[in-house]
Amino acid sequence: MKIHRREFLSTAAASTAGVLLAGNAVVAAEQKAAPADIDPTASVPLGKTLNACRISCGTGMGGGGRQTNQTRLGKEKFEALLNYAYDHGIRQFDMADMYGTHPYVGRVLEGKPRDKVQLVSKIWTRRGGLPEPERPLADVLVKRFLKELQTDYIDVLQIHCMTDADWNEKERRQMDAMEKLKEQGLIRAHGVSVHSLEALKTAAKESWVDVVHARINPFGHRTDVGADEIVDKVVPVLEQIHAAGKGIIGMKLIGEGKFDPQQRKAALKFVMELGSVDCMTIGFEQTAQIDEFLANVRQRLTAKRG
């Protein structure tokens, strides 16, 4: 279905009005009983490689130097937030070396069924962003990641924040190292997190890519192009990636928390109606944000069902 931005913006607010946020106990009970087609946290295909929870708990808001808004909450509050996400059905956790969040997620998931959880992380290859100047190959990094996460494997490992059109040439050694890790079963899928339209186009053509993190919302905030170019320039590339059997995890869906409640609902409607975004990662900082997003996703799924 071709989406026209003007039509979308003119109808989005009206079509998303009237949602009441459920209390914590109600949300948990509804999720447990929900059919898969209206369950916000159901497992869905993420490309041809694996299945994953529809909603991913991001941990990298304001990230850099192995600190994020989540880590700055402190150990007790951050781990309580992660536990809340897990208790409300979220089974995908999005991390990165640059965020420094592996140990927190590892502690929270200790003793929980590993095969029911998807761990997503990223390696940082650019200058800056980390305390040390060295940029080892993925095989060295993953040994540390596995210890920090207290696990035997990572579900998705990506090269973080690619912007150049020729990133697949510049990062070939890392890509080869990640392919070997996949063959060894230490990672299940590999891919790239992109921060430019040209890098996204390369991800669409690069056969090595299993899963892409892509920035997408209809308002153009923290995306690769302006709002007027989202539908014409970004959406076709996402469709190409999806048609090639690659998974897409949408990020910046609610503008890094900058959108108001109606914009959040409108942005979610837009992304979920694309049909090419498999999973959605949100950098929750409060339990109320988890409740709201779950309720909004449920509303969209219920509307689709009806």
pLDDT digits (tens, 9 = 90+) for 157-187: 999 999 999 999 999 999 999 999 999 999 9
Q: Does the pLDDT of residue 43 top 80, yes or no?
A: yes
Domains of the chain, with CATH numbers? 5-16+44-299 (3.20.20.100)
pLDDT-derived band at 306, boundaries 50, 70, 90: confident
Is the pLDDT at 298 greater than 80? The verdict is: yes
Query: Is the separation of the CB atoms in 174 and 138 below 8 Å?
Result: yes
Helical H segments across 110-251, by residue range = 138-149, 167-170, 172-183, 197-205, 235-243
At 8 the pLDDT is 47
pLDDT tens-digit readout, 80-90: 999 999 999 99
Q: pLDDT-based confidence at 14, cuts 50/70/90? A: very low
Confidence of residue 24 (pLDDT cuts 50, 70, 90): very low
Backbone angles phi and psi of 67, in degrees to 5:
-135, 145
- What is the residue-wise DSSP string for 98-129? TTT-HHHHHHHHTTS-GGG-EEEEEE--SSSS
Measured distance CA(90)–CA(58) in Å, rounded: 11
DSSP 2: P
Q: Is the pLDDT of residue 31 over 70?
A: no
